[in-house]
Amino acid sequence: MDNNQQVSFHDELLILVDESDAVVGHGTKEHCHSGDGLPHRAFSIFVFNSNNELLIQRRSAQKPLWPMFWSNSVCSHPRKGEEYLEALSRRLLDEVGMQVPLEFLFRFQYQAFYEQLGAENELCSVYAGRSDVLPCINPNEIAEWRYVALDDLQKDIAAHPDQYTPWFKTELEQIRTDFLEKIFSL
């Protein structure tokens, strides 16, 4: 599978939302991430294999925010007119060339600033699934990937917290605390 196409654009329209996830408008990806950021929909996907290892990715150097940071399997945004499930399927294929059945876990609001270049201000829905299919990564989105055991990942994050995206660290902590049993039963 050829997975080298550009799939992210500064002018794509994202969905602006309030704290209850009600749509309040639309804004370009670039505008949503400028300054303090505008509250918008986002999602994070955690793909585990049958050994209970998590697929993580190092974000491409081309990413304007948090380039070359390690993060969860896939993260992105639904676009204007796109429902969550449609966006999840699109980004799994776009970034890692996979189709994975997903379960919704939780939703949370966060804001994080990257240097003086911009911010995330997202209402993020977190999903998990299982697959033993090896990813076919899109190098425009991902610099490298690996499967990692959660205990090893936790130790590495503790030793090198500045190498991981802020949303990933928050999500992983809640997953470890509240959702491992559900994920491992998928």
Number of separate domains in the chain: 1
Which residues are registered as beta bridge partners of 149?
53
Residue 124 lies in a domain: yes
- For residue 29 the two structure tokens come to 């990806």
Average pLDDT over residues 119-148: 96
Average pLDDT over residues 81-98: 96
Residue 4 lies in a domain: no
Task: Note the Cα 87 to chain centre separation in Å.
Answer: 12
Say what the pLDDT of residue 1 is: 46
pLDDT higher for 132 or 116?
A: 132
Residues 75, 120, 124, 171: which is the catalytic one? 75
Residues 32, 95, 120, 122: which is the catalytic one? 122
Contacts of 152 (CB under 8 A, 6+ apart): none
Residue 173 lies in a domain: yes
Q: Determine whether 75 is an active site residue.
A: yes
The answer on pLDDT for 2 being more than 70 is: no
Say what the pLDDT of residue 7 is: 53
Residue 71 lies in a domain: yes
- Summarised one tens digit per residue, pLDDT across range 25-68 is 999 999 999 999 999 999 999 999 999 999 999 999 999 999 99
Alpha-carbon Rg of the chain, whole angstroms?
15
CATH number of the domain that residue 84 is part of: 3.90.79.10
Instruction: Tell me how crowded residue 105 is: count the other CB atoms within 10 A of its CB.
Output: 18
Domain holding 106, by residue range, is 13-184
User: Confidence class of residue 4 from pLDDT cuts 50, 70 and 90?
Assistant: low
Indicate the pTM of the whole model.
Answer: 0.94
Q: Determine whether 122 is an active site residue.
A: yes
Residue 78 lies in a domain: yes
